[in-house]
């Protein structure tokens, strides 16, 4: 019966990766693009003088996907603890 908990751990881990990784990489890629744009504009002398960053942060979809991935990670940990308790 304990192997069902391990299947739950694997399923939750795979779901966490499949849901969270695209959102995280998309966010990081956008941040890198924005930073490169800021550097280019500063190099050209057309940077914003107010010192504000072009960074917009995470989109609502990215935030929702990362929260879902976090919930799946917690579910995986609960399954892991249940496996160790049941064996």
Tokens (6 digits) for 49:
């003088």
Task: Report d(CA 27, CA 78) in Å as an integer.
Answer: 28
pLDDT tens for the chain, 87 residues long, are 889 999 999 999 999 999 999 999 999 998 888 888 787 887 888 777 666 665 678 899 999 999 999 999 999 999 999 999 998
Q: H/E/C letters for each residue in the chain?
A: CHHHHHHHHHHHHHHHHHHHHHHHHHHHHHHHHHHHHHHHHHHHCCCCCCCCCCCCCCCHHHHHHHHHHHHHHHHHHHHHHHHHHHC
- Domain definitions of the chain by residue range: 2-46+56-86
């Amino acid at each position: 019966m304990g192997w069902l908990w391990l299947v739950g751990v694997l399923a939750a881990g795979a779901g966490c990766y499949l849901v969270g990784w695209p959102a995280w990489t998309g966010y990081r890629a956008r941040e890198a693009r924005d930073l490169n744009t800021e550097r280019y504009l500063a190099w050209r002398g057309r940077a914003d003088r107010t010192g504000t960053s072009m960074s917009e942060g995470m989109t609502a979809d990215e935030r929702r996907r990362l929260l879902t991935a976090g919930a799946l990670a917690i579910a995986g940990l609960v399954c892991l603890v249940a496996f160790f308790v049941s064996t």
